Amino acid sequence: MRSAFGMTFEVPGGYLNTPSIGVPPTEAVTAMNEAVAKWGRGGDAPGDFDGYIERTRELYAHFAGVPAERVTAGNSLSGLVALVAASLPDDARVLVADGDFTSVVFPFAAHADRGVTVTEAELSALPELAAGYDLVAVSVVQSADGRIVDLDALREATAGIPTRVLLDTTQAAGWLPLQLEWADYVAGACYKWLLSPRGAAWMAVRPDIRLRPIYANWFSGTPDEDTNYGLPLRLADGARGLDQSPVWLQQVGAEAAMRELAKADLEQVRRHCVGLADELRAQLGMPPGGSAIVGVPGAEAGDRLTAAGVVSSPRAGKARVGFHLYNTADDLDRVIFALRA
């Protein structure tokens, strides 16, 4: 059992795989177990979960630095990006980072038959190229190696021009303080750095943007009105009308995990995570990256880490490790020992 930032975790030593799956605080595990037990007793009704869904919407807004009233609730990052892709006009031009996570890229590439083109460019070049495109879609923190897009430069480059910006916070929200109200779309999933069970994602949409509600369903219907059966189409106003049908039990765990994480000082969390990651980089002769994620080079790196009991992921020819608030100097020492063996 480990204690960190006022939370407790049953995370094992050497677990550095948060960029794939985060480990929940024990409070979230308890909440999930109680919810499953109640479900098993036949004690649930659909409305029982509404409060959890609204609180997770507000909590995502807190971590992304966006107004809660802009946030629509979904089930996956790719599903929310697909909502944007489906609303693009024919022949739209989309700019993405070379090698970005496919959940950010594939939804746009799937519209090639409508003339939608997707162009890859070096991450650092996105701001200078942005004006030539209808949309820039990019992960704030790159999944493969932890590089961080220059948000200030991208914001400045797209201010006052028609180019829209979609930011993916999945590898950032939960360790990196964010203030992203300026972006047109801010989307992210919950099951990594936000320490929640998989099955929820959110996206903030600027109020002047109208997206096609391709997931229109009973839950996105007009509040205080029966929207379970029949026409006409009647959806809630604003982002709430874009909601996907929720995964109920997931919302219980997410609310508990994100509520606990929200109590922490994210700047302190950032310093903790980046401090460990940059120390690893220094030990490996790499420059500081300012990120919680490190792509460890070397064909045998992954095998050496596994043999030493370090949980990592193979990504883009490297062994990817990520340091979150529950990781310690002991985890760092285990990585360094394994790689020097």
Alpha helices (H) in 134-230, listed in sequence order: 151-158
Q: Are 327 and 273 in contact (CB under 8 A)?
A: yes
Q: Are 149 and 126 in contact (CB under 8 A)?
A: yes
In this structure, what DSSP letter does residue 137 have? E
Pick the CATH number of 2-25+265-340 from 3.40.640.10, 3.40.50.2000, 3.90.1150.10, 3.10.150.10: 3.90.1150.10
Per-residue model confidence (pLDDT) at position 43: 97
**Considering only the top CATH level, what class is 45-261?**
alpha beta
Helix (H) or strand (E) holding 187: strand 185-189
Nearest to 125 by CA among 96, 146, 145: 96
Alpha helices (H) in 262-292, listed in sequence order: 266-283
Nearest to 193 by CA among 64, 287, 33: 64
- Report the C-alpha gap between 49 and 165 in whole angstroms: 32
Q: Are 188 and 60 in contact (CB under 8 A)?
A: yes
Domain spans in the chain, listed from the N-terminal domain onward: 2-25+265-340, 45-261
Q: Helix, strand or coil for residue 256?
A: helix
Per-residue model confidence (pLDDT) at position 340: 87
E strand intervals along 84-184: 93-97, 117-121, 135-139, 164-168
Nearest to 69 by CA among 221, 176, 206: 206
* pLDDT by 10-residue block (mean), the chain, 341 residues: 96 97 98 98 96 98 98 98 98 98 98 98 98 98 97 98 98 98 98 98 97 96 93 97 97 98 98 98 96 93 94 93 98 94 71
